Amino acid sequence: MDKRNQKQQPDPSNGSKRKREGCLDCSDYFMAVAVLTSKMSEDPNTQVGACIVNQDNKVVSTGHNQMPKGGEDKLSWARTGDKLDTKYLYVCHAELNAIMNKNSADVKGCTIYVTLFPCNECAKLIIQGGIKKVVYLSDKYKDDVLTISSKKMLDLAEIPYEQFYPKGAPEIVININPN
Ligand X SMILES: O=c1[nH]c(=O)n([C@H]2C[C@H](O)[C@@H](COP(=O)(O)O)O2)cc1CO
> Which of the residues 95, 121, 158, 171 is marked catalytic?
95
Which of Zn ion, ligand X, none sits in contact with 94, Cβ below 5 to 8 A by type?
Answer: ligand X
Q: At what angle do helices 145-156 and 120-129 cross, to 10 degrees?
A: 20
Please, what is the minimum distance in Å from the beta carbon of residue 25 to ligand X?
25
Please choose which of Zn ion, ligand X, none residue 25 contacts, taking the beta carbon within 5 to 8 angstroms, the exact cut-off set by kind. none
- 67 near ligand X, rule: CB under 6 A: no
Contact between 62 and ligand X by CB under 6 A: the answer reads: no
Binding of Zn ion at residue 134 (CB under 5 A)?
A: no
DSSP-derived secondary structure letter, 92: B
Q: Which long-range contacts (C-beta less than 8 Å, at least 24 apart) are formed by 59-62?
A: 59/30, 59/33, 60/102, 60/103, 60/104, 60/107, 60/110, 61/98, 61/99, 61/101, 61/102, 61/103, 61/104, 61/107, 62/33, 62/34, 62/37, 62/98, 62/101
Q: Which of residues 98-127 bind ligand X (CB under 6 A)?
A: 116, 118-119, 122
The minimum distance between CB 179 and Zn ion, in angstroms, equals 40
Least distance CB 96 / ligand X (angstroms): 8
How many Å apart are CA 168 and CA 165, to the nearest integer? 9
Site of interaction with Zn ion (CB under 5 A): 93, 119, 122
Site of interaction with ligand X (CB under 6 A): 43, 45-46, 48, 65, 79, 87, 91, 93-95, 116, 118-119, 122, 141
